[in-house]
Amino acid sequence: MQLKNKVAIVTGAKQGIGLGIALALAKAGCHVVVSDLDQTGCDKAATKIKKPGIKTLAVACDVAKKSEVDNLISKTLKEFGRLDILVNNAGIFPFVPFADMTEADWDKVQEVNLKGAFLCAQAAVKKMKAGSKIVNISSIASLVGFEGLVHYCASKGGVNGFTRALALELAAKKINVNAVAPGAIETPGATTAMTKEMRQGTIAAIPWKRMGTPDDIAQAVVFLASNQADYITGQVLVVDGGWTLR
């Protein structure tokens, strides 16, 4: 897949799926803006994806804060003069039983996972030209329920609705908006707190009999960010090794 000289922003890109996406976009020829909560994390990730002919920019940004999102977009435009691809990847998934879930727990998850995508997309769209792509990272939790993740499941269901409605509005501008819904992926956020038993249980539920890798997700994102996907918009592409098939 060729994305030579395109300019892409990836949020939540210092580790996990976001870093995998940044690496794959750079491999496909994109200049990549690496964004995450802390500058040091962004700098380290940018160093990891650096390669000849590829420019990187590291910008700290909390996607839930409009002023920081506006700064991310304006720094990108200042450095590269254009923005072709936005990947809304930043997300949190703190397990909390519903009975114990506080209003603050609920708000935090919606602010990062759903409002973050809204803020980034709205600021990006103002600068994007025809042929640009937005890819939102949803989750299979948008399609099936997970105990302890009521707020997360709601936020990712929201991401799917956001994807469809925005795709419709941006069709006139010829900007594609799609989502990728990962299953269980090996990332620091997902696996650090997993016991051996939890891991075995997860793998047992996946027909492919393994957890996914960040690159499994990144390849789907690279496709949706490419011209090969020009006629695909408003879709949610499930990448889960078959988890949701039964």
Q: What positions carry a catalytic annotation? A: 152
Q: How far is the CB of 234 from ligand NAD (least distance, A)?
A: 19
Residue listed under structure tokens 């708000």: 107
Query: Which residue, 121, 94, 116, is CA-closest to 12?
Result: 116
Our finding on whether 185 is near ligand NAD (CB under 6 A) is: yes
Cα-only R_g, the chain: 17
Q: Which stretch binds ligand NAD (CB under 6 A): 60-68, 70-78, 124-132, 167-175?
A: 60-68
Q: Does 64 bind ligand NAD (CB under 6 A)?
A: yes
Residue whose token pair is 């990062």: 112
Q: Does 222 bind ligand NAD (CB under 6 A)?
A: no
Can you tell me which residue has the tokens 């390669």? 51
Residue 72 near residue 59, CB atoms below 8 Å: yes
Residue 176, interface with ligand NAD (CB under 6 A)? no
Site string (3-32) toward ligand NAD, x via CB under 6 A: --------xx-xxxxx--------------
- Decide: is 179 part of the binding site for ligand NAD (CB under 6 A): no
Q: In what order do the strands lie in the sheet with 7-10?
A: 56-60, 31-36, 7-10, 85-88, 133-137, 176-182, 236-239
Q: Which stretch binds ligand NAD (CB under 6 A): 59-67, 70-78, 79-87, 95-103?
A: 59-67
Indicate which single residue of 190, 194, 203, 205 sits in contact with ligand NAD (rule: CB under 6 A). Answer: 190
Number of residues interacting with ligand NAD: please give it, by CB under 6 A. 28
Residue 91 makes contact with ligand NAD by CB under 6 A: yes
Comparing CB distances to ligand NAD, the nearer of 5 and 202 is: 202
Binding site for ligand NAD (CB under 6 A): 11-12, 14-18, 36-37, 62-64, 89-93, 112, 116, 137, 139, 182, 184-185, 187-190
